[in-house]
């Protein structure tokens, strides 16, 4: 059998999904990508990106005071603006600036009712003043809703590719008004020395849909033997990858793959690199350990043929074996944004950081 290791990330054509004759080939390619790679490009997806892409440089070019006005530290939902150099991964500074903006959601938690603290993780986004960037909010909201729909449609295909009923993953999502998915708009400034854009990490949730919004190389993924493989932007595609939560409930069938962004000096494309990841969440109250999925033996054999993944350079993500998904994610957010936690979750902050805000904060 061919070695399951990979030296490039496969490109899948989403248009095939609507053709009964071509869909089986898509499902087969998806199965390979999920089990052996953990990353894929998806071409021909029904998401409009041009309007959003044209706003991105103007968003970052807003006066610093307008960006600071919507700083993440204002938001108990960990939504808003983070300035350059405020995150670290594996002890090194990440060289990026970003806005966390999520799908619309009304926070469920009420004061004095004993609601779980992690319900506060989700709530309304902070937006720049409409008159400074007219139309941006509308375009971003529309974009997030389109990617949200894609993410649900894709999870049915994923279930099929792993030999499950198409609705098998629906148990992990609450109904629309109880869900929230998080987008980020990220800017990696051009540098003249090689710099860590973001260090090696896994994503935490279920599925990530990444729009590479400029022509720069930089994204890399780690293959089964630990080599770093380039994932250059391909116009008209999204990059899709698996998070730790989905890997956990699929018994490691769908791989969470270690990835990073390296900013190469002398890139022929000048200016900053832009990207827009969308992190698909699962319901806050879901305990993953109680919902491990069961697979046909012939599918599990494919995982065993891949073997366990050797050493990676990534920091491990929090385990899902005891807590609700909301609690796991809240702890992750507290660790990466202690300034937000100190203001909005003082007790949890003290438990996690008994000596106060650490000098270096981990992005993951
Ligand atoms: O900017 C990118 O291309 C990837 C970013 C990423 O992996 C993340 O923010 O989790
Ligand atoms: Fe990531």
In 3D space, the residue among 129, 111, 127, 130 whose CA is nearest the CA of residue 119 turns out to be: 111
Residue nearest to atom 10 of ligand 1 (CA): 203
CA 203 / ligand 2 centre spacing (Å) = 5
Please give the angle made by the CA atoms of 164, 169 and 170, to the nearest 5 degrees: 130
Task: Point out the ligand 1 atom lying closest to the alpha carbon of residue 96.
Answer: 1
CA 260 / ligand 1 centre spacing (Å) = 7
In sequence order, which residues have a C-beta less than 8 Å from that of residue 65 and are 6 or more positions away?
Answer: none
Neighbours of 25 (CB within 10 A): 13
The alpha carbon of residue 174 and the mean position of all alpha carbons in its chain are separated, in whole angstroms, by: 19
CB 141, CB 218: distance < 8 Å: no
Which of 82, 256, 277 maximizes ligand 1 atoms within 8 Å of its Cβ, making it the mutation to test the pocket? 277
Locate 210 and state its tokens: 């990444």
Crossing angle of the two packed helices 136-161 and 50-60, in degrees rounded to 10 = 120
Which of 219, 228, 245, 258 maximizes ligand 1 atoms within 8 Å of its Cβ, making it the mutation to test the pocket? 219
How, if at all, do strands 80-82 and 97-102 pair? antiparallel
CB 105, CB 124: distance < 8 Å: yes
In 3D space, the residue among 85, 123, 47, 51 whose CA is nearest the CA of residue 330 turns out to be: 123
Q: Residues 126, 130, 133, 137: is their CA dihedral positive or negative?
A: positive
| Ligand of minimum distance to the alpha carbon of 210 | 1
Residue nearest to atom 2 of ligand 1 (CA): 275
Phi, psi values for residue 97, rounded to 5°: -125, 140
Task: Point out the ligand 1 atom lying closest to the alpha carbon of residue 273.
Answer: 1
pLDDT given at position 219: 97
Locate 101 and state its tokens: 């903006």
- CB neighbour class for 142 (10 Å; exposed up to 12, middle 13-18, buried from 19): middle
pLDDT given at position 1: 45
Phi, psi values for residue 2, rounded to 5°: -60, 145
In 3D space, the residue among 295, 309, 126 whose CA is nearest the CA of residue 223 turns out to be: 309
- Alpha-carbon span 29 to 329, nearest angstrom: 31
- Alpha-carbon span 342 to 281, nearest angstrom: 24
CB 178, CB 51: distance < 8 Å: no
B/e letters for 78-115, b = 16+ CB within 10 Å, e = fewer, are bbbbbeeebbbbbeebbbbbbbbbbbebeeebeeeeee
pLDDT given at position 314: 63
CA 113 / ligand 1 centre spacing (Å) = 37
Q: Along the 364 residues of the chain, how does pLDDT read in single tens digits?
A: 456 789 999 999 999 999 999 999 999 999 999 999 999 999 999 999 999 999 999 999 999 999 999 999 999 999 999 998 877 777 778 889 999 999 999 999 998 999 999 999 999 999 999 999 999 999 999 999 999 999 999 999 999 999 999 999 999 999 999 999 999 999 999 887 768 889 999 999 999 999 999 999 999 999 988 999 999 999 999 999 999 999 999 999 999 999 999 987 777 788 899 999 999 999 999 999 999 999 999 999 999 998 776 656 665 555 666 789 999 999 989 988 889 999 999 999 999 889 887 777 676 6
Edge-to-edge strand list for the sheet holding 237-242 = 11-13, 39-43, 237-242, 207-212, 273-280, 182-188, 97-102, 80-82
**Pocket residues for ligand 1 (CB within 6 Å)?**
186, 198, 203, 210, 219, 259, 261, 275, 277
Residue 206, CB-side half-sphere exposure with 13 Å CA sphere: 26
Which of 86, 261, 267 maximizes ligand 1 atoms within 8 Å of its Cβ, making it the mutation to test the pocket? 261
Please give the angle made by the CA atoms of 205, 277 and 34, to the nearest 5 degrees: 55
Residue nearest to atom 8 of ligand 1 (CA): 277
DSSP classification of residue 322: S
In 3D space, the residue among 244, 223, 187 whose CA is nearest the CA of residue 62 turns out to be: 187
Task: Point out the ligand 1 atom lying closest to the alpha carbon of residue 219.
Answer: 3
């Amino acid at each position: 059998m061919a070695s399951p290791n990979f030296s490039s990330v496969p490109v899948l054509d989403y248009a095939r999904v609507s053709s009964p004759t071509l869909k089986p080939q898509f499902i087969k390619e998806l199965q390979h990508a999920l089990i052996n790679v953990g990353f894929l490009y998806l071409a021909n997806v029904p998401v409009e990106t041009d309007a959003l892409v044209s706003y991105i440089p103007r968003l970052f070019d807003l006066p610093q005071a307008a960006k600071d006005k919507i700083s993440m530290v204002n938001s108990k939902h960990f939504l808003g603006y983070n300035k350059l150099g405020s995150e670290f991964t594996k002890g090194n500074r990440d060289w990026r600036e970003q806005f966390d903006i999520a799908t619309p959601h009304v926070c469920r938690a009420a004061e004095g009712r004993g609601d779980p603290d992690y319900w506060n993780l989700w709530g309304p986004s902070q937006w720049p003043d409409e008159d400074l960037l007219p139309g941006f909010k509308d375009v971003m909201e529309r974009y997030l809703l389109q990617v949200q729909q894609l993410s649900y449609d894709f999870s049915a295909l994923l279930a099929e590719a792993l030999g499950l009923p198409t609705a098998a993953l629906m148990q992990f999502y609450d109904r629309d008004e109880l869900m929230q998915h998080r987008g980020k708009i990220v800017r990696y400034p051009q540098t003249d020395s090689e710099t860590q854009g973001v260090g090696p990490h896994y994503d935490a949730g279920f599925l990530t849909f990444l729009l590479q919004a400029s022509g720069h190389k930089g994204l890399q993924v780690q293959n089964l033997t630990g080599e770093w493989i380039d994932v250059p932007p391909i116009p008209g595609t999204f990059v899709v990858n698996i998070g730790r939560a989905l890997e956990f409930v699929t018994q490691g069938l769908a791989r969470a793959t270690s990835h990073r962004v390296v900013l190469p000096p002398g890139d022929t494309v000048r200016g900053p690199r832009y990207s827009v990841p969308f992190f698909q969440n699962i319901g806050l109250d879901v305990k993953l350990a109680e919902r491990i999925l069961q697979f046909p033996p012939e599918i599990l054999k494919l995982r065993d043929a891949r073997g366990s993944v050797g050493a990676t350079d990534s920091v491990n993500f929090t385990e899902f074996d005891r807590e609700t998904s909301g609690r796991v994610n809240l702890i992750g957010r507290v660790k990466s944004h202690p300034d937000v936690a100190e203001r909005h979750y003082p007790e949890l902050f003290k438990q996690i950081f008994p000596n106060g805000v650490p000098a270096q904060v981990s992005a993951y």
